[in-house]
């Protein structure tokens, strides 16, 4: 068996077997790097939690080996956790593109971190030496400005981490994928390719962003009143293209939503935003005073988020003078992410109820994916010619399908890696192929809960789940400080269980049963053991609700001295 300290290995801590929360650890000899640190979508089964992070215990336990963090691009599922996990990475450099740097610095400011000198702004074509690894950023197209694949050279061979990609010959801003460099990497020799699996069920190649122009032009021409446009704010190229087309049709454009405003601001700072468009941009208040057919408002809320501007507009709200009125057009240029369909359809139905015409991906060609289909994947295989393909970034079905597709495309070795499982890539004994280690390593999720970060199995989360599903009952026992006797009857309050005005008999029964158990336990009337009194009452009250209503609520009892 090879020396465990002299090898090339990879360990995903998120993003493999799920969509979102991407984080990959690469180890070469005694050095370690982290690629991406993303968040996941909120879990509806965990009430009160909006953000889910990968658990970084493995990184913290091996922090002396960590040499750097490398971010492929500025999407939330790749960079969104950086503000929360900044301290978990010690003082190592964090490598980001100029656009991603602006996104990252904004996140760090929001949580009170000072980035100091740790941020390294990378450029395509440059190589960054960190310990025994050499990392090169190679430009590819995606649905965001400045997306990069990573070529990671090690003493044991080269790994290419594709990140999210497709081969768009006409991106709205920036350059097409660096085909020339990818082919050069293939000729140099690629040991393993860790490849995006998201759109593996899509035949052929992902359509270019340029294919949307015809539909956008037609919709702009036909819109008789205001046009409300929503897309993922991070798809800045699409926003810029839509602004260009709206300006061409004589419309003024306003931005509603801080994220879109920031993305356009960053694009301006990096000269992606044409200066000629500046005169076509107006404030929301200015837009409200213009004729309706002269306005396009870019709004947030592609996924029906409760606080997003499109959701608020769908409820009839007025945002600084703008609201959806009869005859307005709402163009939703985005994908309905699985799990969000109900929220999105609710928004659509409300907008239609207000008299708006809603156009979305199921009605017209108004969205294309930023993830490459099977044709893009084959093109990447053919250029890189990897000895090994490791499917990542996808749910179980996506990973399994890319494994089949890679084999069908002539890739000899496919490693079916999963979160918490370490893949050993090199060196290998004679006749041995890349393999997964038998043992698993610590992985999982953490929840951002207000100002706290909670472990996956924290009792706080479990208690909140119970309250969410079963409700809560509070029982107060007033006890005299002098005599230790009960003063009056136990007071019972419940939330999320019954309507006391209609089913008050349940509360009455709880009071009776609580008084009875106290008489049994404390026959002399002196409640001299508060802990025992609280626990006994808790049990009988919970039993009453279980018997009468079939629910086992969280019951909180408290002895109050008066």
Residue 2: per-residue pLDDT: 47
Residue 42: per-residue pLDDT: 67
Domains within the chain, CATH numbers bracketed: 8-205+369-455 (3.60.15.10), 209-359 (3.40.50.10710), 471-561 (3.10.20.580)
Closest C-alpha to 515, from 486, 493, 539: 486
Sign of the Cα pseudo-torsion (321, 323, 327, 332, in order): positive
Closest C-alpha to 199, from 326, 371, 319: 371
Q: Return the minimum-mean-pLDDT range out of 26-35, 41-50, 488-497.
A: 41-50
Write out pLDDT tens, residues 128-176: 999 999 999 999 999 999 999 999 999 999 999 999 999 999 999 999 9
Write out pLDDT tens, residues 372-418: 999 999 999 999 999 999 999 999 999 999 999 999 999 999 999 99
- From CA 59, how far away is CA 56, in angstroms rounded? 5
Alpha carbon distances (Å) from 516 to 229, 510, 539, 543: 64, 10, 13, 14
Query: H/E/C letters for each residue in 360-378?
Result: CCCCCCCCCCCCCCHHHHH
| Residue 535 φ then ψ, to 5° | -70, -40
Q: Residue 335 class from Cβ within 10 Å (0-12 exposed, 13-18 middle, 19+ buried)?
A: buried
Write out pLDDT tens, residues 71-96: 999 999 999 999 999 999 999 999 99
Q: How many CB atoms lie within 10 A of CB 287?
A: 24
Helices (H) and strands (E) in the chain, counts: 16, 28
Residue 125: per-residue pLDDT: 87
Residue 503: per-residue pLDDT: 86
When pLDDT is averaged across residues 464-475 and rounded to a whole number, the result is: 86
Residue 5 in this model has a pLDDT that exceeds 70: no
Angle at 81 between CA 116 and CA 193, to 5 degrees: 105
Residue 44: per-residue pLDDT: 67
Write out pLDDT tens, residues 498-533: 888 888 899 999 999 999 999 999 999 899 999 999
* Contact (Cβ atoms closer than 8 angstroms) between residue 558 and residue 477: yes
CA atoms within 13 A on the CB side of 474: 7
Share above pLDDT 70 across residues of the chain, in percent, rounded to a whole number: 97
Q: Return the minimum-mean-pLDDT range out of 15-24, 45-54, 352-361.
A: 45-54
Residue 118 in this model has a pLDDT that exceeds 70: yes
- From CA 168, how far away is CA 376, in angstroms rounded? 10
When pLDDT is averaged across residues 23-49 and rounded to a whole number, the result is: 88
When pLDDT is averaged across residues 478-494 and rounded to a whole number, the result is: 91
How high is the mean pLDDT of the chain?
A: 92
- Asked, as a colleague might, if the bond just before 154 is cis with ω within 30 of 0, I would say no
Write out pLDDT tens, residues 442-452: 898 887 777 67
Residue 4 in this model has a pLDDT that exceeds 60: no
Cβ-Cβ contacts under 8 Å for 94 (sequence gap 6 or more): 68, 69, 71, 82, 104, 115, 118, 119, 120
**3-state helix, strand and coil shares in percent for the chain, rounded to the nearest 5:** 35, 25, 40
Residue 47 in this model has a pLDDT that exceeds 80: no
SS3 11: strand
Write out pLDDT tens, residues 208-220: 999 999 999 999 9
Q: In the 8-state DSSP scheme, what is residue 206? A: P
Residue 433: per-residue pLDDT: 82
Position 1 confidence tier, pLDDT thresholds 50, 70, 90: very low
Q: Encoding tokens for residue 557? A: 């009892």
When pLDDT is averaged across residues 284-297 and rounded to a whole number, the result is: 96
Beta bridge partners of 120: 95
Distance from first CA to last CA of the chain, Å, rounded?
Answer: 73
């Amino acid at each position: 068996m090879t020396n465990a300290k002299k090898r090339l290995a990879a360990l995903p801590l998120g993003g493999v077997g799920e969509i979102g929360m991407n984080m990959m650890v690469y180890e070469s000899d005694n050095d370690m790097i982290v690629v991406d640190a993303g968040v996941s979508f909120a879990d509806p089964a965990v009430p009160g939690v909006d953000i889910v992070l990968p658990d970084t215990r493995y990184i913290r336990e091996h922090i002396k080996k960590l040499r750097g963090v490398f971010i492929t691009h500025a999407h939330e599922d790749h960079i969104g956790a950086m503000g929360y996990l900044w301290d978990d990475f010690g003082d190592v450099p964090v490598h980001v593109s100029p656009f991603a740097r602006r996104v990252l610095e904004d996140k760090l400011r929001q949580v009170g971190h000072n980035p100091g000198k740790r941020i390294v702004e990378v450029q395509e074509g440059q190589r960054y030496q960190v310990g025994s690894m050499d990392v090169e950023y190679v430009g590819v197209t995606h649905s965001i400005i400045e997306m990069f694949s990573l070529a990671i050279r090690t003493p044991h061979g080269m790994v290419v981490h594709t990140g999210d990609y497709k081969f768009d010959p006409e991106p709205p801003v920036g350059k097409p994928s660096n085909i020339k460099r990818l082919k050069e990497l293939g000729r140099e020799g690629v040991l393993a390719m860790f490849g995006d699996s998201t759109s593996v069920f899509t035949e052929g190649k992902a359509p270019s962003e340029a294919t949307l122009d015809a539909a956008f032009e037609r919709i702009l021409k036909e819109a008789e009143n205001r046009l409300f446009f929503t897309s993922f704010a991070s798809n800045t190229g699409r926003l810029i293209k839509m602004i260009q087309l709206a300006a061409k049709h004589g419309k003024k454009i306003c931005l509603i939503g801080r994220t879109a405003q920031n993305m356009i601001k960053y694009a301006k700072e990096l000269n992606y935003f044409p200066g000629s468009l500046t005169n076509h941009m107006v404030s929301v208040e200015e837009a409200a005073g213009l004729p309706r057919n002269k306005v396009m408002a870019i709004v947030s809320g592609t996924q029906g988020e409760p606080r997003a501007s499109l959701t608020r507009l769908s409820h009839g709200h007025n945002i600084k003078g703008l609201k959806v009125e009869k005859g307005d057009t709402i163009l939703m240029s985005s994908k309905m992410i699985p799990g969000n369909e109900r929220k999105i359809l609710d928004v659509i139905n409300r907008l239609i109820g207000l008299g708006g015409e809603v156009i979305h991906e199921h009605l017209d060609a108004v969205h294309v994916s930023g993830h490459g289909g099977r044709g893009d994947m084959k093109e990447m295989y053919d250029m890189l010619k990897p000895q090994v393909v490791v499917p990542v970034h996808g749910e179980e079905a996506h990973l399994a399908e890319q494994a089949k597709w890679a084999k069908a495309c002539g890739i000899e070795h496919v490693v079916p890696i999963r979160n918490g499982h370490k893949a050993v890539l090199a060196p290998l004994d004679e006749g041995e192929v890349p393999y997964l280690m038998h043992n698993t390593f610590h992985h999982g999720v953490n929840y951002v809960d207000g100002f706290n970060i909670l472990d996956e199995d924290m009792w706080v989360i479990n208690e909140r789940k119970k309250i969410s599903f079963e409700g809560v009952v509070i029982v107060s026992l007033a006890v005299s400080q002098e005599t230790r006797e009960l003063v009056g009857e136990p007071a019972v309050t419940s939330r999320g269980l019954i309507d006391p005005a209609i089913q008050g008999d349940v509360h009455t029964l709880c009071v009776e049963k609580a008084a009875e158990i106290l008489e049994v336990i404390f026959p002399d009337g002196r409640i001299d053991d508060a802990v025992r009194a609280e626990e006994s009452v808790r049990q009988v009250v919970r039993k009453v609700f279980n018997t009468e209503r079939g629910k086992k609520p969280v019951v909180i009892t408290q002895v109050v001295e008066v």
